[in-house]
């Protein structure tokens, strides 16, 4: 491929921003809308790559912050890149690591210290703490490893260098996500910094891609990240600013919950270039988000909730969630979900998975994770088909009423 990424829209849905498309990467195609499977530390928790393929996972999303700390981006580079390292030959994407540098440096929850170069300290964020582990300046982020406390300074440039070492097909520009409690003043400041960082990310990324060309290696793609929180004018400004830059696609960050999905994505995706893919960064665990996201122009999603909840015994079904540890399942020889086509539902009963959880047997975590991932992947696949078949709104109503109940579903059906 002479481009890092090619995106083709094959179907759209009248009166919505929804579209069906194909993203082509050096490691294969992604049919969109798509749910990307979370593989934070270069492994999808409890699953082999074969499990991920079998459950229909098209793409794995890993995390630059986690991987730079352990095993180290240099180790992955020496292994020949993340695909070889983790034995996954399909498309991959890495998040920039910015969010984790803040949040795992406790910044997101306990405090950020903003020192913006020559300006005086800006205390417009709502949270501050003397035990802060992350410091943000216009240059980058100073934080301490959550593993060993080692001081690390991360910049847009270093994030790109790390991501090129890791070698995923798609990279994400280094951005600053603001707290839901941030003031408008701080949101604007962070957005401007995100724009400056986006330009620096893009510059360094292009330099690194030039090196790949010289070595005859695959090009890597870069997504810019739209911020601006709940502020309409800032979201539009961010979309316009970044939309004019030469990114291969866009991430949309800082969108919290279903209400923000429809409003914020409406602002953003009416401005972002139509012909580039859009990824909703870090969605929540509500299936409604998938429907609203697609309706408002999202092509790809990621979320670690399916495997995390699976490990807690919370299994998704088309009629809501169930807790497989519950004694009611001891003698229940039906599958987790009658309507599910996953490996777990085809081969095992609720009683068996209940037994595994009660016995602390790891296979229980694996079977539960396969089921939950399949549930979400399949839901997005069905959304894709419903657009192709011009049946999106029927499918949305049917799914959400079954999952949330008729009354609770109304708030998503508008």
Considering the rule CB under 8 A, would residue 43 count as an interface residue with a second copy? yes
Considering the rule CB under 8 A, would residue 266 count as an interface residue with a second copy? no
Sheet holding 19-25, edge to edge: 6-12, 19-25, 28-32
| Sign of the dihedral through C-alpha 406, 294, 373, 62 | negative
Out of 349, 378, 397, 398, the only residue in the binding site for a second copy (CB under 8 A) is 349
C-alpha span between 109 and 136 (Å, rounded): 15
Q: Which stretch binds a second copy (CB under 8 A): 131-139, 242-250, 328-336, 402-410?
A: 328-336
Q: Of these residues, 113, 175, 302, 337, which one is catalytic?
A: 302
Considering the rule CB under 8 A, would residue 319 count as an interface residue with a second copy? no
C-alpha span between 344 and 365 (Å, rounded): 11
Q: Is 381 a catalytic residue?
A: no
C-alpha span between 350 and 344 (Å, rounded): 10
Query: Burial level of 214, CB count in 10 A (0-12/13-18/19+)?
Result: exposed
Taking the complex as a whole, how short is the minimal distance between the CB of residue 358 and a second copy, in angstroms? 6
For the chain, what is the total number of helices (H) and then of strands (E)?
17, 17
Considering the rule CB under 8 A, would residue 48 count as an interface residue with a second copy? yes
Considering the rule CB under 8 A, would residue 136 count as an interface residue with a second copy? no
Considering the rule CB under 8 A, would residue 263 count as an interface residue with a second copy? no
Considering the rule CB under 8 A, would residue 34 count as an interface residue with a second copy? no
Considering the rule CB under 8 A, would residue 150 count as an interface residue with a second copy? no
Q: Do the beta carbons of residue 213 and residue 239 sit within 8 Å?
A: no
Classify strands 134-136 and 141-144 as parallel, antiparallel or unpaired.
Answer: antiparallel
Six token digits for residue 20? 């069906």
Taking the complex as a whole, how short is the minimal distance between the CB of residue 217 and a second copy, in angstroms? 18
Out of 274, 304, 305, 351, the only residue in the binding site for a second copy (CB under 8 A) is 351
Task: Please report, as residue ranges, which positions from 49 to 108 form the binding site for a second copy (by CB under 8 A).
Answer: 70-72, 75, 78-79, 85-87
**Other C-beta atoms within 10 Å of 90: how many?**
19
Q: Is 408 a catalytic residue?
A: no
Considering the rule CB under 8 A, would residue 326 count as an interface residue with a second copy? no
Q: Which residues bind a second copy (CB under 8 A)?
A: 41-48, 70-72, 75, 78-79, 85-87, 330-331, 333, 347-349, 351-352, 354-356, 358-359, 361-363, 365-366
Catalytic residue ranges: 95, 302
């Amino acid at each position: 491929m002479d481009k890092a990424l090619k995106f083709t829209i094959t179907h759209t849905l009248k009166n919505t921003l929804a579209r069906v498309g194909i993203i082509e990467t050096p490691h294969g195609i992604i049919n969109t809308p798509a749910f990307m499977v979370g593989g934070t530390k270069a492994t999808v928790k409890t699953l082999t790559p074969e499990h991920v393929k079998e459950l229909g996972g098209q793409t794995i999303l890993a995390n630059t912050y986690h991987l730079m700390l352990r095993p180290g981006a240099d180790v992955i580079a020496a292994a020949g890149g993340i695909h070889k390292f983790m034995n996954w030959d399909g498309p991959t994407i890495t998040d920039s690591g910015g969010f984790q540098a803040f949040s795992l440096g406790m910044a997101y929850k306990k405090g950020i210290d903003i020192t913006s170069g020559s300006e005086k300290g800006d205390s417009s964020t709502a949270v501050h703490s003397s035990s802060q582990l992350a410091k943000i300046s216009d240059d980058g982020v100073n934080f301490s490893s959550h593993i060993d406390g080692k001081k690390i300074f991360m910049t847009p440039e270093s994030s790109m260098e790390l991501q090129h070492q890791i070698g995923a097909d798609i990279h994400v520009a280094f951005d600053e996500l603001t707290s839901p409690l941030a003031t408008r003043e701080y949101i604007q400041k962070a957005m401007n910094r995100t724009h400056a960082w986006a330009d620096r990310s893009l510059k360094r990324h292009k330099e690194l891609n030039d090196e790949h060309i010289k070595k005859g290696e695959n090009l890597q793609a870069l997504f810019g990240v739209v911020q601006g929180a709940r502020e309409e004018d800032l979201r539009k400004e961010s979309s316009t600013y970044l939309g004019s830059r030469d990114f291969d696609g866009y991430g949309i960050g800082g969108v919290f919950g279903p209400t923000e999905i429809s409003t914020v994505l409406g602002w953003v995706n009416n401005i972002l270039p139509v012909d580039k893919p859009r990824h909703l960064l870090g969605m929540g665990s509500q299936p409604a988000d998938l429907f609203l996201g697609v309706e408002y122009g999202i092509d790809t999603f990621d979320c670690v909730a399916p495997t995390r909840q699976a490990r807690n015994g919370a299994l998704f079904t088309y009629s809501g969630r169930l807790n497989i540890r519950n004694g009611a399942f001891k003698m229940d020889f039906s599958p987790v979900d009658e309507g599910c086509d996953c490996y777990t539902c085809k081969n095992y009963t609720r009683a068996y998975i209940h037994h595994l959880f009660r016995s602390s047997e790891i296979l229980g975590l694996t079977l539960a994770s396969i089921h939950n991932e399949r549930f979400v992947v399949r839901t997005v696949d069905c959304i894709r088909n419903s657009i192709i078949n011009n049946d999106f709104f029927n499918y949305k109503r049917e799914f959400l009423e079954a999952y949330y109940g008729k009354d609770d579903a109304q708030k998503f059906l508008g």
